[in-house]
A = this chain, B = another copy of it.
Amino acid sequence: MFKKTGVILLSSALLLTGGSLAFGPEQGKAKKTPPPQANQKVENVIFMVPDGYSASYATNYRWYKGEETVLDSMLVGMMRTHSANSEVTDSAAAGTAMATGEKTNNGMISMSPEGEELDTILEAAEERKLSTGLVATSTITHATPAVFASHVDDRNNEAAIAPQILENDVDVILGGGKEIFLPESKDGKQEKNLIQQAKDDGYIFVEDSKALSNVKKEEDKLLGLFAEGPMAPELDREETKQPSLSEMTDAAINVLKKDKDGFFLMVEGSQIDWAGHAHDAAWAMADSEAFEEAVQAAVEFAKKDKNTLVVVAADHDTGGMSVGGYGEYDANLEILRDVTATGDFMAEALNEEQSNAKEVVKKYAEIDLTEEEISQIRNAEEPANAINEVISKRALVGWTSTEHTGTDVPLYAFGPQADLFAGLHNNTDLPHLFAEALKIKFE
């Protein structure tokens, strides 16, 4: 819905004041591309992965935000995402491609389809004495961070991934998944306490936002595990003591930047994907916002540093999201700004007969459900799914799948040698381009 929103008010205001934000009808002026920076030296690479974030997420998020995003100014190309055995990749195979330069089968973590271990760009950076870091809002042993510093044939084997990340001597490790590092926890599968081992190996260990903010930049190695399992969705984070993705990104850069040999840091906005699987449009937008804030933090550092390349690429689309849908020439992303909880959270707040659906959805989504929508939620096998479908339809966010889809995704870069990423790439190109920018050997 276009005319009733803050968006149009914004652009009208800009017209009156001669402003030039993107939404006004006067936005006709040609945009200049930044000059190529091919010859500037790259000392640091920050690779950021908004898991599941295809062009429709980028477009919907721009409407949700009401103005152009930092990513909009960084678009340089697009990227193919297929795996070795399917047009539609999972995050393990997509991550493996972006970490190793090789296609593998869905489910595999930096191993070839035949089970060979594949060298990763993070390992190559370490060999050349660069510092390295992994940041995610999932468990840090989840597929996307895992592919950079471990090799297992089944992504679900997170217990095998945790010790490998430590053995790989990744300097900064921030995310969820504490229980995966411990023998005594609920899902504990370790023989020994890996957190204690990390401390013995010189890592400082933190468990909440406050401790993270107190980490001194002199620390050599940093392990932060902020939740037993995955970290909280952005919509529910304020209830916790967990840091935001941008706080983790800032903290990682702060520790890594003192290495004169440079650093390679991977930052994942893990839960955009989970929101897409759940068709939870509000969660997808809130986690896209958290991701954009992390990109902003990285870009601000890169602007000051001048030798840092920031590259952003999703691993795949999730859910076949569309901007509009349902046979309407319209989209209502602005209603999602009023949603303050995930569908899962709202479903938890339902009573046993789900007779309070109207009140719960009003409280957390500012939506007055119709009788039809109420009965849709009350009769659903999975009320969370039904709540998400109702909100998606209200926002006119369409979906074609509960799993990933295989469309090419946008590719973004900022900083010296950003132009290396111009045009259409395969996901396997990325680590080779990182190596080329860093002038390190990677074949």
Q: Is A63 an interface residue (CB 8 A)?
A: yes
Which of A183-191, A222-230, A266-274, A325-333 binds B?
A325-333
Cross-chain contact B328 with A33 (CB below 8 angstroms): no
A223 to B399, CA, bound (A): 43
Knowing A2-B85, A59-B80, A400-B400, say if A28 contacts B322 (CB, 8 Å).
Answer: no
**A397's closest neighbor in chain B, by CB?**
B400
Indicate if A158 sits at the interface (CB-CB under 8 A). Answer: no
Q: Interface size for chain A: under 10, 10 to 19, 20 to 34, or 35 or more residues?
A: 35 or more
Q: Are B400 and A331 in contact (CB under 8 A)?
A: no
Stretch in A174-182, A288-296, A429-437 with 4+ CB within 8 Å of B:
A429-437
Question: Could you give, for residues 398-429 of chain A, a 1 whenever the CB lies within 8 Å of some chain B CB and a 0 otherwise?
Answer: 11111111111110000000011011111011
**Stretch of A71-79, A298-306, A366-374 on the interface side:** A71-79
Q: Is there an interface contact between A75 and B400, defined as CB atoms closer than 8 Å?
A: no
Inter-chain contact A90/B329, CB cutoff 8 Å:
yes
Whether the Cβ atoms of A401 and B326 lie closer than 8 Å is yes
Q: Which of A100-108, A208-216, A256-264, A351-359 contacts B (4 or more CB under 8 A)?
A: A100-108
List residues of A whose CB falls within 8 A of some B CB. 2-3, 22, 25-31, 33, 36, 54-56, 58-59, 63, 72-73, 75-78, 80, 84-90, 101-104, 106, 113, 317, 320, 322-331, 333, 398-410, 419-420, 422-426, 428-429, 432-433, 436
28 cross-chain CB contacts under 8 A: A25-B104, A27-B426, A28-B101, A28-B432, A30-B432, A31-B424, A31-B426, A31-B429, A36-B36, A55-B408, A56-B407, A75-B423, A75-B424, A76-B423, A88-B323, A88-B328, A88-B330, A320-B320, A320-B322, A320-B398, A322-B400, A322-B406, A323-B406, A325-B401, A326-B400, A326-B401, A329-B403, A408-B410
